[in-house]
Amino acid sequence: MRIYVAGIGPGSAEDITPALQQAVADSNVVVGYKYYFQFIEKFISDDTVCIDTGMKKERQRAEMAFEYAEKGNTVCVVSSGDAGIYGMAPLIYEMKREKESKVEIVSIPGISAFQKAASLLGAP
């Protein structure tokens, strides 16, 4: 019973961390906005359940993640950038508290768009 909450970075393959790759590979359920799957599909096993939703469905994605995790699955919820900065991590932690859930939450940081932009502009 685990939910990984992971950031896929700002949208390029070289910015996806090895930790995210491993979390996706270890999960038997991956939940995210459908656009994000193109960036991680090569790390997803053939037997992995992929749940994709449209935009503005964050609460629905979080609910589904808990539903699967509480049935004994390892779930990876993916966000763009860093999952803790304008991502899914705060919602997942809040929902865990509300539900008084025993599901383990593991937050995996990603590279945020502002970090990438600053790097490209030479302004750390």
pLDDT profile of the chain (124 residues), mean per 10:
95 91 97 92 95 89 97 96 91 97 96 88 80
Claim: this prediction has a pTM higher than 0.85: yes
- The alpha-carbon radius of gyration of the chain (Å, integer) is 14
- Looking at residue 124, what is its pLDDT? 67
Is the domain 2-121 a CATH 3.40.1010.10 member?
yes
32-61 burial: b if 16+ Cβ within 10 Å, else e? bbeebbebbeebbeeeeeebeeeeebbeeb
Map tokens 């609910």 to a residue: 63
Q: Domain locations in the chain?
A: 2-121
d(CA 101, CA 117): 37
